Structure 1
């Protein structure tokens, strides 16, 4: 599990607010903007599950967003040909989900660093009979 950081909450709030505004705006402009087609479902799965798996493997929240979510969003943008009709709702839903992931990460207890003890030799503690 990833560690708590003071930057997680502001990042999560910005993502949550921006994402919500994007998909609400897209839904108001185009009635079918939030229809779940296979391509939209695939984009959401890759974007959300990829970041979730990174968080489960101990990558910090900001690093997971920059190293996984940003390149996936760029590929999604390039795949849609830059058309805002198909890209903005997917980006909005992804940002909302990533913001929701960040809210509990800002409240996790901090990890304590592992205590390293000096290594002891077994031969010095227990001498073998000769």
Structure 2
């Protein structure tokens, strides 16, 4: 889903834009990226009242093959299933930034703190371009 703002956003030090990747960008496993959100910080904790961020590593797609919804053509495998660092429930829709570029979106933060697949933005770049051109 793309959102269209009613009014143009005022860009400040706290509000800015992020570049999007070209279509079908490959992100090499091992690359360190950042994710931010207001989701849970622990399995038994409520959602955070302050924005949290964590550095996570892109890992081989086979590490996410245990998640039935994971599709290596559409998702990025980020973090590790045994890791305690992840995007959690409540972080859905948050950005995954790699080298200053928005590469992924938290597809669904899981309540069990296991790494969720991240939607790979580059796969949807043609659709994003089409929607932006029409509006």
Q: TM-score, normalization: structure 1? A: 0.29
Larger fraction in helix: 1
Structure 1 or 2, whichever has the larger Rg, is: 1
Relative to its length, the structure with more strand (as a share) is 2
Higher relative contact order, chain-length normalized (CA < 8 Å, sep 6+): 1
